[in-house]
A and B are shown apart, each in its own frame.
Chain A
Amino acid sequence: MNCKTLVSELENYLDKELDATLRATIEEHLSKCKKCRLIVDTTKKTVEIYCNSEPAPLPADTRKRLHEALAQRLRRARA
């Protein structure tokens, strides 16, 4: 295991889609390589920050137009 192989397996490692042997090999490398630990930590953090981010409120005029369009369609459904 070297740093390049670790990066190529990073996506499977973060998503826990590796068999136990390869995972153990990666973790052995991580225990010795600070740079790879930082790559794993900061990539994981990148995903978490996006995953946790709250969407901004809808702009008022955008929301108004959406609900007008829906109201028009739903009125037809009610009729």
Chain B
Amino acid sequence: MSTPKVNPVRPTLPSQVVREDEPVLVAAAQSGDVSAFEELVGRYERKIFRLTQNITQNHEDAEDSMQEAFLKAYEHLHEFQGNSRFYTWLVRIAVNQALMKLRKRRPNVVSLDEEIDTGEETVPRDVQDWGPSPEDRYEQTELGGILSKAIAELDPPFRVVFQLRDIEELSTEETAEALDLSIPAVKSRLLRARLRLRQKLDRTFRRSEIS
């Protein structure tokens, strides 16, 4: 049997491509061009709302966090030095706003930087094939609901790390810095999150469920 080839987990995605005009828009906004800032808001509002919604799991908190993130980004725009993508900088602001809301509403929630026992991962049982594109069996809205429900069921320390690494596409280092976690802590949480989400989606996507 030939050695299987595994491609990098991240495909080339539109969201990975820094749109060429982003630095131009940011520079214009920093010079006082408010329409340039409005353009940046329009470009990212959906993604930032999904981010705050996934972290807070509360519509009102998600909306407030998003608003505060954009307003804070505007207030501090002069401090953005272009060392990272503007979007990465914005994500970090939004994560902080959303985490503050989450902690306020759920003070007993485990702290993100607290030592948690991620334990040894067990080997999943009853593993089945999903087929090449299991997501294509669902309409966009239905798929969105399936993905949101699965991520909502993760505990916050796993949910937030997965959100930043695998949805917002921050690097391990950027995620660690944004959440004030060590790199090994990010990796162990990410592994647990990925395996748990795999397990949750397995109920929906396993090939044997195709009617």
Is B11's CB under 8 angstroms from A55's CB? Answer: no
Q: List chain B residues, Cβ under 8 A from A62.
A: 49, 59, 63, 66
Is B144's CB under 8 angstroms from A8's CB? Answer: no
Q: Range of interface residues on chain A?
A: 35 or more
Is B198's CB under 8 angstroms from A43's CB? Answer: yes
Is B6's CB under 8 angstroms from A13's CB? Answer: yes
B191: which of A10, A40, A45, A49 is its contact (CB, 8 Å)?
A10
Q: Does B158 contact A (CB under 8 A)?
A: no
Contact A73:B71 (CB < 8 A) given known A57-B46, A62-B63, A65-B63: yes
Q: Does B82 contact A (CB under 8 A)?
A: no
Q: Does A15 contact B (CB under 8 A)?
A: yes
Q: Does B20 contact A (CB under 8 A)?
A: no
Which residue of the partner chain B has the closest CB to A26? B6
Contact A44:B9 (CB < 8 A) given known A11-B190, A30-B4, A58-B49: yes
Interface size counted on chain B using CB atoms at 8 A: 59
Bound-state CA distance A46–B66 (Å) is: 26
B20-50 interface code vs A (CB 8 A; 1 in, 0 out): 0000000000001010011001000111011
Q: List chain B residues, Cβ under 8 A from A78.
A: 34
Bound-state CA distance A10–B6 (Å) is: 12
Bound-state CA distance A70–B121 (Å) is: 46
B194: which of A8, A10, A67 is its contact (CB, 8 Å)?
A10
Q: Does A74 contact B (CB under 8 A)?
A: yes
Q: A11-48: which residues lie under 8 A (CB-CB) from chain B? A: 11-16, 27-28, 30-32, 35, 37-48
Is B38's CB under 8 angstroms from A31's CB? Answer: no
Bound-state CA distance A35–B35 (Å) is: 54
Min distance, Cβ A49 to any Cβ of chain B, angstroms: 5
User: Could you show 25 A-B contacts with beta carbons less than 8 Å apart?
Assistant: A4-B120, A10-B195, A16-B8, A28-B3, A30-B4, A31-B2, A38-B128, A39-B124, A42-B127, A44-B6, A44-B9, A47-B166, A48-B10, A49-B201, A51-B166, A53-B144, A54-B140, A54-B144, A55-B46, A55-B49, A57-B46, A63-B45, A65-B63, A66-B63, A74-B74
Residues of B within 8 A of A (CB): 1-4, 6, 8-11, 13, 32, 34, 37-38, 41, 45-47, 49-50, 59, 63, 66-67, 70-71, 74, 120-124, 127-130, 134-135, 140-141, 143-144, 147, 151, 162, 166-167, 169, 172, 187, 190-191, 194-195, 197-198, 201-202, 205
